[in-house]
Amino acid sequence: MKFTYRPSRPSSRLERLLGRLAGDRPQTPKPRFPIDLVCNADVRIDPPHSRDDDS
């Protein structure tokens, strides 16, 4: 089964904006199980001795 996003007549400026941004992407197969994508996660692997320097 293909992920078939269609703009479905966005009716506002923000919808059109998001539609053009999100719609301008390669279609991906819709998985049969949930896939959770999280953005904004930035994990740093630091040496143990730097622990006290954390801000």
Partner 1 sequence: MTLSIHSPDELIAAIPHLLGFKAEESIVFVPLRADLPLARVDLPTTASQRNEAWGAIRGAFSRYAQPGASVAIVCMTHDQQAADLIGHDYAVRLASIGIDTPLKLSADATDWYDLDSGESGVQSEGARNRLAATTVLAGRAHPVSDRDALATSLVGDREPVAQFLLRTRDESAQRSPGQDEQWALGRLQQFQADGVRLSDSDAARLLVTVESIPVRDELWNDMRRDNANSHVALWTDLTRRAPDEVRAGPASLLGFAAWQSGNGAMAWCALDQVPKDKRYVLADLVAAAIQTGMHPREWEAVKAAPPQREVERGSDFILGHARAQTGPTRPAPGI
In contact, 38 and 15? CB cutoff 8 Å = no
Over its C-alpha atoms, the chain yields an Rg (Å, rounded) of 19
**Minimum distance of partner 1 from residue 9's CB (angstroms):** 7
- State whether residue 13 is helix, strand or coil: helix
**Minimum distance of partner 1 from residue 19's CB (angstroms):** 6
Q: Which residues bind partner 1 (CB under 8 A)?
A: 2-3, 5-15, 17-48, 50-51, 54
**Minimum distance of partner 1 from residue 31's CB (angstroms):** 5
